[in-house]
Amino acid sequence: MLKPGEYVRDLLESEPGRRVTARGWVKTRRDSKGLHFVQLNDGSCFRDLQVVIEAGVVPEADLAAVTTGACVEVDGEIVASPAAGQRVELRGTAVRVLGPADPATYPLQKKGHSFEFLREIAHLRSRSNTFGAVFRVRSALSFAIHRFFQERGFVYVHTPIITASDCEGAGSLFGVTTLDLSNVPRTKDGKVDYSQDFFGKPTYLTVSGQLEGEAFALAFSNIYTFGPTFRAENSNTPRHLAEFWMVEPEMAFCDLADDMKIAEEFLKYVIGYALEHCREDLEFFNQRIEKTVISTLEHVVNSPFEHLTYTEAIRLLENANRTWEFPVHFGADLQSEHERYLTEEKIGRPVIVTDYPKEIKAFYMRDNDDGRTVRAMDVLAPRIGEIIGGSQREERLDVLREKIRAHGLNEASYSWYLDLRRFGSVPHAGFGLGLERLLMYVTGMKNIRDVIPFARTPGSAEF
Ligand code: 4AD
Ligand code: MG
């Protein structure tokens, strides 16, 4: 196991004269003028360690299997590097190939591969520059998310993955069953007999931990949940996954204004964290993926988010003088084209849209007094569109019951959720951030399949 001080990252920081053993996978190897050059990477940082071996120092037989993709161990001495672009390199004196990689069949070659091709070899793509950077940033952002909430006294709660309640009420659920699908038990009236199923009733993979999160917020005041969520929407877009990771804070004693404030502070914090701690990786994205990614992030951290009500947003879209694929009118859901117009063309930075019509938002959002809108807020970001969705929750028992009915949901299955309004209810609010949407924003990567290790999308669940 590599210990701190032994990673390539640390070797690159060490002083000439240090004797070390470097371990990692060979990015490339070339031989010229009596020297063997090996680029070695262990995933700890963007840069490779350059290993230089003089001809004759190491037996030819030991070198033969040092080819792209092989896992190797090299003993040697850190020396000042005569080459540009690196302070030090490793002068190798012994090489052991721990795991060879047949050059004839190793699929990840030096030439640039398309992201589509790399998705097919997702078990190997993390060894490439781009995906090494993506997944280091993913790890750093996840840590920053925990740190933000932990520093503010939020309790981390593990909400269930298997659930009987449909949080968003959108009907895009994956069922969880152990029933024999080729011989489904039926009730007398021909319906599926779920009483014979594992849990004795229909269950699903969760679309959101929010409802259970609310139960914890009404005990711990400030909580967050951070885990995988599942949506069976058949949307084959660059922004949708069937399995994605969501961060959901929930705060008691909190209204919509406070909710928006903490969402903005949170986004700025985690982006600031990436700017500070992932500089090398971000510089790569800036050069190779999206020319403006760093300046955009710096701008986001340093300027206040814009605020618009839904009604104002609709007016801006109506006055935009263009033909929308999805027509705009009060009551229409904002589509990607609308979100991008508002953030990219009209405003040029993140914008928080509030007070959506109640018909297009979930049952749990608090009604405004106008009778038409709810205290919802979506944070829209340039390039990405919706990155955060949140709201103040309906804390009044009678109003919430009425809303459950109006949304065509079964009150009995929300009885525990209604209990939270029966016993010690309080104004509370929260939001959900899709980790992969955030990663797309921070890295400039264009397809959400390229910021999650192994993507699950309609028709595709490899690995
Ligand atoms: O807006 P959504 O559906 O909100 C909720 O689930 C609430 N329960 C959150 C809350 O208030 N606690 O989803 C929240 C975020 C979206 O803004 C988006 O970033 C992400 O989750 N998201 C997806 N990301 C990838 N693929 C999908 N299919 C996504 N659906 C939502
Ligand atoms: Mg939403």
**Pocket of ligand 1 contains residue 425 by CB under 6 Å:** no
Domains: count for the chain: 2
Whether 462 maps to a domain, the answer reads: no
Predicted local distance difference test score (pLDDT) of residue 170: 66
Cα–Cα distance for residue pair 361/290, rounded to 1 Å:
33
Q: Domain check: are 394 and 311 in the same one? A: yes
Q: Give yes or no for a contact between 13 and 48, defined as CB atoms under 8 angstroms apart.
A: no
- Please report, for the domain that includes residue 52, its CATH number: 2.40.50.140
Contact between 455 and 448 (Cβ < 8 Å): yes
Query: What is the distance between the terminal CA atoms of the chain, rounded to a whole angstrom?
Result: 25
Q: Domain for residue 58, yes or no?
A: yes
55 and 143 both lie in a single domain: no
Tell me the ligand closest to 235's alpha carbon.
1
Q: How far is the CA of 431 from the centre of ligand 2 (A)?
A: 9
Same-domain status, 161 and 97: no
The verdict on the CB of residue 231 being under 6 Å from ligand 1 is yes
241/342 same-domain check: yes
Residues 131 and 86 placed together within one structural domain of the fold: no
- Same domain membership, residue 65 and residue 155: no
Please identify, among 81, 109, 137, the residue that sits at the C-terminal boundary of a domain: 109
Identify which ligand lies nearest to the alpha carbon of 334: 2
Best residue among 154, 206, 244 to mutate for probing ligand 1's pocket (most ligand atoms within 8 Å of CB) is 244
pLDDT of residue 83: 85
Residues 263 and 389 in one domain: yes
Q: Which domain holds residue 82?
A: 8-109
- CATH number for 261: 3.30.930.10
Ligand 1 probe mutation, 173, 223, 246, most atoms within 8 A of CB: 246
pTM: 0.97
Task: Tell me the CA distances in angstroms from 299 to 133, 293, 348, 377, 446, one per residue in order.
Answer: 22, 10, 10, 22, 20
Note whether 417 and 283 are same-domain residues.
yes
Q: List average pLDDT for each run of 10 residues in the chain, which is 463 residues long.
A: 97 97 97 95 98 94 95 98 92 98 92 92 96 98 98 98 82 92 95 96 96 98 98 90 98 98 98 98 97 95 96 96 94 94 93 97 97 97 95 98 94 94 98 98 98 96 94
User: Domain for residue 45, yes or no?
Assistant: yes
Distances in whole angstroms, Cα of residue 109 to Cα of each of 80, 99, 276: 29, 17, 32
138 and 83 inside one domain = no
Residue 78 lies in a domain: yes
What is the pLDDT, as a whole number, of residue 154? 98
In a domain, 3, yes or no: no
Same domain, residue pair 144 and 288: yes
Looking at the fold, whether 99 and 138 belong to one and the same domain comes out as no
**Per-residue pLDDT at 215:** 98
Given a contact cutoff of 8 angstroms between Cβ atoms, the answer to whether 317 and 342 are in contact is yes
- Kindly state whether residue 417 falls inside one of the protein's structural domains: yes
Q: Do 92 and 133 sit in the same domain of this protein? A: no
Ligand 1 pocket, 76 CB below 6 A? no
Round to whole Å and give the CA distance between 148 and 6. Answer: 29
CA distance 398 to 421: 9
Q: Which of 82, 109, 136 is the last residue of a domain?
A: 109
Q: Which 8-state DSSP code applies to residue 343?
A: I
**Cα 52 from Cα 63, distance rounded (Å):** 12
